[in-house]
Amino acid sequence: MQSYRKQTFRVYLRHLGKYKLTVVVAMVATIVAQVANIIGPLFYKDFFNVLTDAGDLSGKVPVLQHILIKILLLYFIGWVLWRTATFCASYWQAHAEEDIYNSCFSYLHKHSINFFNSNFVGSLVKKVNRFADTFMGISDIFMWDILTLFVFLSLSIIVLFQRNIWLGLGLLVWSVVYMIVSYSYSIYKLRYDIKKAALSSKMVGILADTFTNQLNVKLFTGYQREMKYFGRVNNDYHTLRLKTWNMDNTFEAVQALFSIGLEIGIFFLAIHLWQTNVITIGDFFLIQAYILGVIMRLWNFARIIRRFYEYMANAEEMTEIFETPHELSDSLQAKNLTVSEGRIVFQDITFNYNQTRRIISRFNLEINPGEKIALVGSSGSGKSTIVNLLLRVFDVERGHILIDGQKIETVTQESLWQNIAMVNQDPILFHRTLAENIRYGRPNATEIEVIKAARLAHAHEFISTFNDGYKTYVGERGVKLSGGERQRVAIARAILKNAPILILDEATSSLDSESEHLIQDALSNLMRDKTVIVIAHRLSTIMKMDRIVMIDDGKIVEQGTHQELLKIRGGLYRSHWERQAGGFIN
């Protein structure tokens, strides 16, 4: 797996750029507060030396009290600095994390439909959360662990060097060896952390996929198969997790021996130096304070390194997405699409799926302003692909698509989609209220306009039966509504949007005959003065279209009105009509 560590840091640093001042203040305050922690034991050393010195007890008391006042002032300054550091860090961490979430949301949504078709939704959600969590984790590690460790360790070694070169050298050598061993172990364990992160994402993806398709799992008796599949991945993940835990336990046992060796070894040396009058009783307190402080921080150093690499392993999955260019993007010179008539021209279009499977070849079609055309043909003939190319879900490989003379690849995608309304065969709704779903194409629409659109789509009737009316939540993907009800809401949404170009992809396929009759009346009003493209398998729904375009193998084989096409003996459209109508045509 390619490492995206540098790219990850670049993303995080870019989001910290707006908060440089508070970052610097937090760092400086942390460093100075740590200096206060180092100075404190020096005063305590003097305190214990005064206590152990021979002399008048009454004369020592004022000196001891004076030292305590100095310690109090020192700790108060440290307390102020720590509070400054924590408040500043909280400010930039919270705001930068918010910006990171916004960046993830923005960049992901600009990926193509093909990208989302190739990735589990649950995995993408987890990658976003991990990426933001990693920022918080790494910033905490740097501010409160790495920075404080190196300041404390450096100053402790300097002070001990001043007291005695062997004390300082002993602590320096031990610390360097300890950190090298800890770092080497963390690098070794990284490969397992990366595997563990990948398996975790796979588990979430399986959960999301099976939850989304839970009806199929039940109806096709797939419970046992899915349980075994999930169980295998779950077992692999937790087996690896147990292995890494045991590795950590073993390493921490080695750490403990290192720490015991340092503490006892330093004190053996200190006793010798005390015997030769090189150090005082107060120095024992100084050594103990520094040694315990270093051991505590270096004990955490191994965990810090391991946590750091675990965080990076989690974050790099999202960084890889950031490093993946958008399949479709606006050109730097892109302008807003202006639709004055609604003329659509497909000009010598060629398109392949995955560069290998040719779907559309040298396709030409001109749709006049306000014309209503229907695209018909067998499944896989290329009807939906033509619509997807118009919507720029995919880019053509050769040729151009023009709307009122403007090539769609030269206009912004947002302006293209603003001028096209679409009703899908299986419309998917947000888990929001009915009013919010209808208003989605025109967020500033009034309540009266929403209700008017719902009436025209014959959705008002069933909406009125709900206790909460238009404030009713429809459930994830609109599952609380029937297929026909979802389609009526989608039609109401298209009516309210009122775009000059309208695409209907089997817009009445989920409706019963009575509902379809009502919807056809609403669609007639909706299609007035618009350029309309209808994809239909049921030919009875497109008999009144201005033109019917018969497509086979990505090419136009016949076109004309319903009556004109029925007159073509041996024609493909007539053959389809006769199969659907059965004996009725005779």
Q: Is the pLDDT of residue 106 over 80?
A: yes
As a whole number, mean pLDDT of residues 238-248 equals 89
CB contact at 8 A, 114 and 394: yes
Report residue 386 as tokens: 């033509």
Q: Name the residue among 498, 495, 571 with its Cα closest to residue 539.
A: 571
- Confidence class for position 362, pLDDT limits 50, 70, 90: confident
Structure confidence by residue, pLDDT tens digits, 537-582: 778 778 888 999 999 888 899 999 999 999 888 889 888 888 876 5
> How many helical (H) and strand (E) elements, i.e. helices and strands, does the chain have?
19, 10
Contact 143, 89 (CB under 8 A): yes
User: 317-331, 400-414, 457-471 — which is least confidently predicted?
Assistant: 317-331
Q: How far is CA 252 from the centre of its chain?
A: 34
Distance CA 182, CA 153 (A): 16
Q: 40 Cβ partners below 8 Å, 6+ apart?
A: 71, 74, 75, 78, 289
Q: Is the pLDDT of residue 300 over 90?
A: no
Give yes or no for residue 414 having a pLDDT over 80: yes
| Intra-chain end-to-end CA distance of the chain, in Å | 65
Q: In Å, how far from its chain's centre is CA 493?
A: 28
Measured over the CA atoms of residue 413, residue 415, residue 418 and residue 423, the dihedral's sign is negative
Whether the predicted pLDDT of 174 surpasses 60: yes
pLDDT, average across residues 289-311: 81
User: In the chain, pLDDT over 90 holds for what percent of residues?
Assistant: 35
User: 280 near 49, Cβ under 8 Å?
Assistant: yes
Cβ atoms of 375 and 573 within 8 Å: the answer is no
In the prediction, which pLDDT does 585 show?
43
Confidence of residue 113 (pLDDT cuts 50, 70, 90): confident
Residue 521 pLDDT > 60, yes or no? yes
Domains for the chain: give ranges and CATH numbers.
Answer: 5-322 (1.20.1560.10), 339-419+503-510+531-586 (3.40.50.300), 425-498 (3.40.50.300)
Distance from C-alpha of 468 to C-alpha of 304, rounded to nearest angstrom: 52
Nearest to 298 by CA among 173, 160, 134, 140: 173
Query: What confidence score (pLDDT) does residue 263 get?
Result: 76
* Angstrom distance (rounded) from CA 449 to CA 340: 24
pLDDT-based confidence at 584, cuts 50/70/90?
very low
pTM for this predicted structure = 0.75
- Residue 231 is predicted with a pLDDT of 92
| Residue spans of beta strands (DSSP E) within 425-511 | 501-505
pLDDT above 90 (res 338): yes
The Cβ of residue 207 has, within 10 Å, a number of other Cβ atoms equal to 17
Could you list the beta-strand ranges (E) of 119-174: none
Strand partners, 43: none
User: Among 178, 112, 75, which Cα is nearest to 413's?
Assistant: 112
| CA angle at 516 for the pair 504 and 446, rounded to the nearest 5° | 65
Taking only Cα atoms into account, the Rg of the chain, rounded to an integer number of angstroms, comes to: 36
| Strands 344-353 and 357-367, sheet pairing | antiparallel
State phi, psi for 331 to the nearest 5 degrees: -70, 160
Is residue 475 scored above 70 in pLDDT?
Answer: yes
Q: What is the DSSP letter of 584?
A: G
Amino acid (one-letter) located at 573 = Y
- CA dist 296 to 20, 142, 246, 288, Å? 30, 16, 22, 12
In the chain, pLDDT over 70 holds for what percent of residues? 94
Q: In the chain, what's the furthest Cα-to-Cα distance?
A: 128
Q: What is the arithmetic mean of pLDDT over 173-200?
A: 83
CB 148 within 8 A of CB 30: yes
pLDDT at 500 over 70: yes
Q: For residues 499, 503, 505 and 510, what is the CA-based torsion angle, rounded to 10 degrees?
A: 30
Q: Residue 21: its pLDDT value, please?
A: 95
The 3 state secondary structure assigned to 232-260 is HHHHHHHHHHHHHHHHHHHHHHHHHHHHH
| Average pLDDT, integer, range 364-386 | 90
Q: What single letter denotes the amino acid at residue 449?
A: E
Alpha helices by DSSP H, listed for 213-360, are: 214-219, 223-275, 281-322
Instruction: Enumerate the β-bridge partners of residue 375.
Output: 535, 549
Please choose, from the candidates 520, 506, 440, 514, the residue with its C-alpha nearest in 3D space to the C-alpha of residue 478. 440
